[in-house]
Amino acid sequence: MKRIQLIVLGWICLSLATFTGQAQGKREYVIVVHGGAGAMGGLEQNAELSAQYYAALDSALDQGAAVLDRGGKGEEAVLAVLRYCESNPLFNAGVGATCTAEGTFELDASIMRGQDLSAGAVAGLQHVKHPIDAAYRVMTQSEHVMMAGEGAERFAREQGLEMVDDNLYFATPKTMKWVEQLKQESKKNGTVGCVVLDKEGNLTAGTSTGGMFKKKWGRIGDSPVIGAGTYADNASCAVSCTGHGEYFIRHAVAYNLCARYKYLNEPVEKAADYIIHQELNSEAGNGGLIAVDKSGNIAMPFNSGGMFRGYLYKERSTGAVRRQVGIGKSLRH
């Protein structure tokens, strides 16, 4: 009898340790950001420009860390990071977004909360200053998951979000050149995304983009499609993708990763590598993703020339903050 009691006690202790280990992983919080994947065309050799990107990625991570350090939720951190990126002309989201074949700017964004699988997405916005805010309002203030075009703009206006009268607000000198000429086949890939594991163990994912250069009117990519460009589930991972959206939709990449993690018990890095390097590569589906799992492990694979990316996490035991950012293969800091 005594032996049985001991075994039961041992089992209870082990279960408790496992449970606490999961709920309170070795990282107090984790933030991962991407600023798009693409060919990069020797960007790393351009010291001045690459320094601007590194600095922007660092600032984006700082925005998220500031929110989490003052006790904010993961979804607030995702919003802060993506709002910053939408305001930074270096990235293909908000100001700096790439243009359609008609020289206009049509913006897409989405956000998902892993705690209750609630999600919000917007597509084809032309006058909402921060598309990620509109996606968040769809998630929190409507009974819907996805809204597009004029209806989405009307909803954003009703919600009191900041609007811009002129669609060219999103243009920069660089994108204006494309608008005027629409000849340059430069494929600007600078969609932005952020995934966060917060102090409560909640996962959030968000993505914002101008889409693909010279896209047809009304074209919607993977970024606002829940399950393709964005997904978060506290039982598995938070994921944000960037790349050739049509392929990411076909392969339901963001959900695919969570499903491999959940049902095949694959570590997040293995699942992410498989999808990006095997599934997508076999169809020339160019791009990458960022992911964090419920234990705080990170994956950031890409099959393109490079991907603007970075992570920042705080160690629970020491309070030390670790961070790295990268454009090409290597990471620095």
Name the residues that contact ligand ASP, by CB under 6 A: 36, 92, 189, 191, 209, 211-212, 221-223, 229, 242-243, 245
For the CB of residue 246, give the shortest distance to ligand ASP in the complex, in Å.
Answer: 7
Nearer to ligand ASP, 215 or 260 (CB): 215
Residue 172 bears catalytic tag? no
The tokens of 135 are what? 């996606």
For the CB of residue 7, give the shortest distance to ligand ASP in the complex, in Å.
Answer: 53
For the CB of residue 245, give the shortest distance to ligand ASP in the complex, in Å.
Answer: 2
Nearer to ligand ASP, 221 or 301 (CB): 221
**Given strand 237-243, what is the order of strands in its sheet?**
230-232, 237-243, 287-293, 298-299
| Neighbouring residues of 278: CB distance < 8 A, sequence distance ≥ 6 | none
Decide: 156 and 141 in contact? Cβ < 8 Å.
no
Taking each helix axis from N to C end, the angle separating 131-141 and 74-87, rounded to the nearest 10 degrees, works out to 150
Q: Both ends of the chain: CA-CA distance in Å?
A: 57
Q: Where are the alpha helices (DSSP H) in the chain?
A: 2-23, 47-69, 74-87, 131-141, 149-158, 173-181, 245-250, 253-263, 268-273
H or E stretch at 310: strand 306-315
| Neighbouring residues of 167: CB distance < 8 A, sequence distance ≥ 6 | 104, 105, 126, 127
Nearer to ligand ASP, 175 or 191 (CB): 191
Looking from the CA of 28 toward its CB, the CA atoms found within 13 Å total: 14
For the CB of residue 99, give the shortest distance to ligand ASP in the complex, in Å.
Answer: 13
Which letter does DSSP use for residue 276 in this model? I
Nearer to ligand ASP, 191 or 234 (CB): 191
Write down the catalytic residue from 98, 100, 175, 191.
191
Rounded Cα distance between 166 and 234, Å, is 39
Q: What angle do CA 106, 108, 110 make, to 5 degrees?
A: 170
Decide: 214 and 182 in contact? Cβ < 8 Å.
yes
Number of helices (H), then strands (E), belonging to the chain: the values are 9, 13
For the CB of residue 213, give the shortest distance to ligand ASP in the complex, in Å.
Answer: 9
For the CB of residue 234, give the shortest distance to ligand ASP in the complex, in Å.
Answer: 25
Nearer to ligand ASP, 85 or 212 (CB): 212
Nearer to ligand ASP, 114 or 211 (CB): 211
Which residues carry out catalysis?
191
